[in-house]
Structures are given as structure tokens and as C-alpha cells.
Amino acid sequence: MKSIRNVAIIAHVDHGKTTLVDKILHEAKLFRSNQQINELILDNNDLERERGITILSKNVSVTYKDVKINIIDTPGHADFGGEVERVLKMADGVILLVDAFEGPMPQTRFVLSKALSLGLKPIVVVNKVDKENCRPDEVHEAVFDLMFNLEATEEQLEFETLYGSSKNGWMSHDYKQPTDTITPLLDTILEKIPAAPQPEGIPQFQITSLDYSSFVGRIAIGRVYQGSLKEGDFMGLCKSDGTVKKVRIKELHVFEGLGKLRAEEVKAGDICAVTGIEDFEIGDTLTDFENPEEMPRIAIDEPTMNMLFTINNSPFFGKEGKFVTSRHIRDRLFKETEKNLALRVQEGESEDKFIVFGRGILHLAVLIETMRREGYELQVGQPQVIYREIDGQRCEPIEQLVIDLPEEVSGKAIELVSQRKGEMKVMEPKGDMVHLEFEIPSRGLIGLRNNVLTATGGEAVMNHRFKSYEPYKGEIPERSSGSIISMEQGPCTAYALDKLQDRGIFFVEPGDVLYNGQVIGEHSKGSDIVVNVQKGKKLTNVRAAGSDKEAKLAPKKVFSLEEALEYIQKDEYVEITPQTIRLRKIILDENQRKRAAAKI
């Protein structure tokens, strides 16, 4: 029986985690010498590649010196925190990867605290030591301080540190002496990470994540903690309500390289995928049906935000998308809940409306972006935070917000966060930057990133993570500017836009085809304004001096999907089609809007 090491990789977004896994796979000679492969092998979803973030945790395994190493890639972004905790349950040790310039970041802290509390042994890798201005020694100190503050044990504090550059494919115990290989890291894993225990006894397999295949349905992924699983065996599935259901294992697969390998039997200590079980949840235990031994359940993060999803009913519906009906959207959303665990879907007041609950705007934006790429058309409303009643008090989600920015613009950022009920907890220098930490209500974060980046000339780096539910902090002022709304349907003209430039910033340019009720700009005053941008210049046969000057237009403001979701007001929707993102009023007709406003 091969010895097994189960190791999870923890890192902040963009510190080089997925690149490091690439290099380990190369080192283990998983690919033929003539095989063409891409970079970032694990980020196999287009969105992950574009955004440069890992969204879903994944498993790969390599064999090194006859030891099987299961590598578990974890998401670094707090909106996907639900993934992280469960994944760490499968590991016996963690590799903490930190950037040699940036040092440990807030999300690193979040995942590391979970790993330390589970008693996992860390190995620290200080990555990107080939970058200019890097400070490996200071970063090493910062990691030690962080672990100390997170109440790591004596044993955990005696961690091994390696330095290197994943991109250039080397690791070393001393950054002043680069090597040309990544093997020092693999040797350290074998030496420092304990081998997975392989106890005999009644089988115990806990489901920590799941996959979905259109051929076999839902696939349970987890670790065998005790005994062994065999193909074709009848087992007991311990459910959350205390019942034990009889199920049969159809197929077993272990992770081998980047793929899966069919196995007749999987012994304790290994990670595997089980097909053939129906109706299971995360945290369920697969064990003996006659003498069930259930494992402690895993808690899953509750959603903190919800958003209304509805069909696209704008005048331009169905022009670009393949899937436009409520049945299409319903099926797609419920299919997503089978593998996206922090997501919940609830039917709305009418059959074409759905309330979707998620962990944050990024979590929901990734789902919307995936749907539009698949050919869906839909509209979504303003994100709303979820309030809870705790001990008779109305409570709301509070986030920990960290901003790193140049000192000369820090005052503006502090002012913007304070206006949104943010409380400053830490302010300290970090190299030539200032490091600020706040506690702020989740609803205060909606639209904040845009404002802070504008006020600081794009130099602020912002990160936030969910902290806890705390008593309601009071009203937060809404967006101070109103909307500019199109009065007619048809293409807008440069002449009309030129005449209206002093009214605000526009999101459209000449030639864009608009409809009545579409939000086409931001009004410089607090009220909404309806304008006609379709009218052209009246032509006469009399030439007047100066009347033919060319229109000089400011470039239009372009929104990303997250920015659009953060920007809209309560009475607006974001219309999303495979090719366009438009903002619009929920009630398109101006007179009906006025009547509705009068009733409120």
C-alpha cells in the first residue's frame, strides 16, 4: 500500500498558487515531452483564466519517490469561502503561499485561521522572490506574526520555509541560492507533512465537495477516513436529519494526475469520487448500513446577499440569446445549486421571478457571467443584503475591509468608508503604502469600490471578507446622482449627445440603438432626467458660419458586470445578454413611473 500525503494549497488571489501546481505537475513528469499544454492547467474554466482567480477547488495527484501526493487547490477569494473550509477537511497539511512583496493578505488570514484550527501542519512558500522590491525576510517575519496572532500551536509555529519562483520553476531553502528545480518543495512535503493515517474498521467516507456529470448525475467527492470502500457494496448514507439511507456504490474513481482513474477499492487516507449515490448533501457520511458510524457534520457558510433574477422583457429581448424563457432560467438556476453549495434559489412572487441567494456580489456575478456565455438572456435587480433576527435584534452581515493605498490619497478613502458606516480599526504604514482595516456593513460595500478607485486615481487595493452578523448600523446614504434616461427608441446621434454633455456622464456613444426607459447616463444632480438623444440636426440650405463645428464627445463610461450590479438603484434592472450589458428602469414608460412613485 502506497504512502499518501494530502496537502491543500492556501494563497491569496494572484500570489501564484495555480502556477505552482502547474510546475509540480511538470516535475512529476505527468506530460509527454512533446505534449502541448497551457499554463494554469487547473483554472480550466474560461472565467477563471480571464479573471486570474480560482473559483472552484480542484484535486490533482502526483507520485513522487513512490509516495502519492494529493494536491487540493483552494479558492483564495472570500466570496468562495464556503469551498475552502470543506476542502481543508480532506488535508493533513497545508502549503501557505505568500507573495515576497505583498506578504500575507486578509484572505490568506481567513483560510489560514481555518487550517490552523483544524490542527494542520503548515509549510510556508515565499513566492516571486525574483520580483523587484521584494522583501522575503520581512514577509517571513510577517507570516510568523500572523500565525502567532491566530494562536498557532508550538509545533505549527516551527514551520519550514522555502523561497522561490513558481513562474521560473525553482524552490530553495535560501532565496540567495536559487536552484533550477522544484524538488526541494516536494522533498519537504514528504518530510514535514504527516502521512495520511490508514485505520482499519467500519468504513467512513465524508462528502466534502461534489461534481456533476450529465451522464451519471451528481458525484460525491471526499476522503476515506477509516476502512475501505469497494465498488458494488451496499452502504449507509447518514443524512442531516439523523436517518440512514441504504445506497449502493456504482463506481469508484481515485485522482491520478489531472484525471480520475477507476478503482475497485479505495483504502483509508485516499481521496476519491463516488458515483451512484442519489440525494446526498455535503457533510453526509457514507458508512456501514448495519453499524453506522457518523462523522461530525461540516458547517456551510450561509448566504449574505440576494438578488432578483427575471426574464428579459425589454424591447430588445431575444435578439442575441438562445435561452430566454422563464423555464430555461429556472432549470439553469436549479442545476447550478446541485454543485454550487453556497447558492440558494427561491421562487419569486410570479413564475418568471427567482430570488437567488449568494455569498457576495462576485459570487453572483460569476454565475451571471457563466450564464450569459452559455447563451442566456436575463435581468437582475439590485443586490440586497440578508438581515437576521438574533436575540430580538435586527442584525446585518458585517465585513472586514482592508485597503492598501498611497498615503496622500488615504484621507479620501477613509472619508468614503466612514460615510458608509465603516469603522477604522487599524492604520499602519506598509512600505511606501498605508494599510487600513475597517469593519463595514455588507450593504456599505455595494458601489464602494468604484468610488474609492475614482477618488484614489485607481491606486487603492481593496479586499474584504465576511466577519459576522452584528446589530443593524443605521441608514446608509444612497447614490447621490440620478439617472439620464432615454425618451425614444432608435440610434442616438452625436449632435444630441453633444448638446447634453453638461448634464452628466453618458454610458452610450453615437450609433448605439436605445429604447425608451433605458438608463444611458449618470445625471450630475440627484434627480432622474428623461432626454431625447435620437434627434438629429435640422438641415437647411443656408450655411451659417460656426454652426458646422464637429461634436467633441467625452468617451462613454463602460461598466463591467460587477460594477453595473453595484451601480443600479432599487427601481432599476441590469439587462444581461450574451453580447451586451444594459441598465434600464424597471418601469420603462415615464408616465407609469411617475404614477408608481406617487403611490409610494
Residue 19's alpha-carbon distances to 25, 42, 168, 172, in angstroms, are 10, 9, 10, 17
pLDDT tens profile 71-120:
887 665 444 555 666 778 788 888 888 888 777 776 677 678 778 888 88
| The length of the chain, given as a count of residues | 600
Mean pLDDT of the 406-418 span: 88
E strands along 284-377, which residues?
Answer: 285-287, 305-310, 344-347, 353-358
pLDDT at residue 187 is higher than 80 = yes
Cell (9 digits) for 98: 505568500
Q: What is the 3-state secondary structure (H, E, C) of 503-521?
A: HEEECCCCCCEECCCEEEE
pLDDT at residue 392 is higher than 70 = yes
Round to whole Å and give the CA distance between 349 and 435.
45
Q: What is the pLDDT of residue 240?
A: 78
Question: Which amino acid, residue 325?
Answer: T
Q: What is the pLDDT of residue 37?
A: 37
Tell whether residue 18 is among the known ligand binding residues.
Answer: yes
- Other Cβ atoms closer than 10 A to 532: 13
| DSSP assignment letter at 331 | H
Q: Which of 451, 301, 298 is nearest to 363 (CA)?
A: 301
Round to whole Å and give the CA distance between 397 and 470.
6
pLDDT tens profile 508-548:
998 899 999 999 999 988 888 999 988 877 776 666 555 55
Tell whether residue 17 is among the known ligand binding residues.
Answer: yes
Q: What is the pLDDT of residue 446?
A: 82
Sign, CA torsion 301/361/98/39 = positive
Round to whole Å and give the CA distance between 276 and 255.
18
Q: What is the enclosing helix (H) or strand (E) of 328?
A: helix 326-339
pLDDT tens profile 311-357:
999 999 888 888 889 899 999 998 888 777 678 898 888 888 999 99
Q: What is the pLDDT of residue 514?
A: 92
Tell whether residue 14 is among the known ligand binding residues.
Answer: yes
| DSSP assignment letter at 397 | E
Tell whether residue 19 is among the known ligand binding residues.
Answer: yes
pLDDT at residue 380 is higher than 90 = yes
Q: What is the enclosing helix (H) or strand (E) of 388?
A: strand 388-390
Tell how strand 518-523 and strand 572-576 pair up.
unpaired
pLDDT at residue 42 is higher than 60 = no
What share of the chain in percent tops pLDDT 90? 12
| Lowest-pLDDT range of 34-38, 333-337, 462-466 | 34-38
99 touches 128 (CB < 8 A): yes
Claim: this prediction has a pTM higher than 0.85? no
Give the phi and the psi of residue 416 in degrees, each rounded to 5: -65, -40
Round to whole Å and give the CA distance between 419 and 475.
10
pLDDT at residue 484 is higher than 70 = yes
Round to whole Å and give the CA distance between 399 and 440.
5
Residue 323's alpha-carbon distances to 212, 327, 383, in angstroms, are 21, 9, 23
- Other Cβ atoms closer than 10 A to 200: 10
Q: What is the pLDDT of residue 1?
A: 58
pLDDT at residue 574 is higher than 90 = yes
Confidence of residue 576 (pLDDT cuts 50, 70, 90): very high
Q: What is the pLDDT of residue 310?
A: 93
Round to whole Å and give the CA distance between 171 and 179.
6
Tell whether residue 591 is among the known ligand binding residues.
Answer: no
Mean pLDDT of the 250-275 span: 84
Confidence of residue 15 (pLDDT cuts 50, 70, 90): low
Q: What is the pLDDT of residue 38?
A: 39
Q: What is the pLDDT of residue 115?
A: 83
DSSP string of 104-162, one letter each residue: S-HHHHHHHHHHHHTTPEEEEEEE-TTSTT--HHHHHHHHHHHHHHTT--HHHHS-EEE
**Which range in 1-5, 148-152, 448-452, 593-597 is most confidently predicted, on average pLDDT?**
593-597
100 touches 136 (CB < 8 A): yes
Round to whole Å and give the CA distance between 591 and 594.
5
| Lowest-pLDDT range of 11-15, 147-151, 326-330, 342-346 | 11-15
Round to whole Å and give the CA distance between 560 and 549.
33
60 touches 7 (CB < 8 A): no
- Other Cβ atoms closer than 10 A to 157: 12
Q: What is the pLDDT of residue 465?
A: 73
Q: What is the pLDDT of residue 51?
A: 45
Q: Is 67 left (phi over 0), alpha (psi -120 to 50) or beta?
A: beta
Instruction: Identify the residue with better confidence: 130 or 452.
Output: 452
Q: What is the pLDDT of residue 381?
A: 92
Q: Which of 308, 320, 305, 306 is nearest to 582 (CA)?
A: 320
pLDDT tens profile 47-79:
444 444 444 456 788 888 888 888 887 665 444
Cell (9 digits) for 173: 531553502
Domains and CATH numbers, the chain: 3-192 (3.40.50.300), 204-287 (2.40.30.10), 388-471 (3.30.70.240), 482-538+549-599 (2.40.50.250)
pLDDT at residue 137 is higher than 60 = yes
pLDDT at residue 457 is higher than 60 = yes
Round to whole Å and give the CA distance between 285 and 479.
48
Confidence of residue 585 (pLDDT cuts 50, 70, 90): very high
Instruction: Identify the residue with better confidence: 296 or 530.
Output: 530
Residue 298's alpha-carbon distances to 107, 161, 178, 284, in angstroms, are 21, 31, 42, 9
Residue 565's alpha-carbon distances to 53, 368, 562, 584, in angstroms, are 20, 11, 5, 12
Tell how strand 3-11 and strand 93-99 pair up.
parallel
Tell whether residue 128 is among the known ligand binding residues.
Answer: yes
Tell whether residue 130 is among the known ligand binding residues.
Answer: yes
Q: What is the pLDDT of residue 81?
A: 52
Tell whether residue 140 is among the known ligand binding residues.
Answer: no
**Which range in 293-307, 350-364, 578-592 is most confidently predicted, on average pLDDT?**
578-592
Cα R_g (the chain), whole angstroms = 27
Tell me the pLDDT of the chain averaged across its residues. Answer: 81
Cell (9 digits) for 275: 458515483
**Which range in 155-159, 271-275, 483-487, 558-562 is most confidently predicted, on average pLDDT?**
483-487
Q: What is the pLDDT of residue 62?
A: 83
Tell whether residue 322 is among the known ligand binding residues.
Answer: no
Mean pLDDT of the 261-269 span: 85
Instruction: Identify the residue with better confidence: 445 or 44.
Output: 445
578 touches 377 (CB < 8 A): yes
Q: Which of 135, 175, 147 is nearest to 10 (CA)?
A: 147
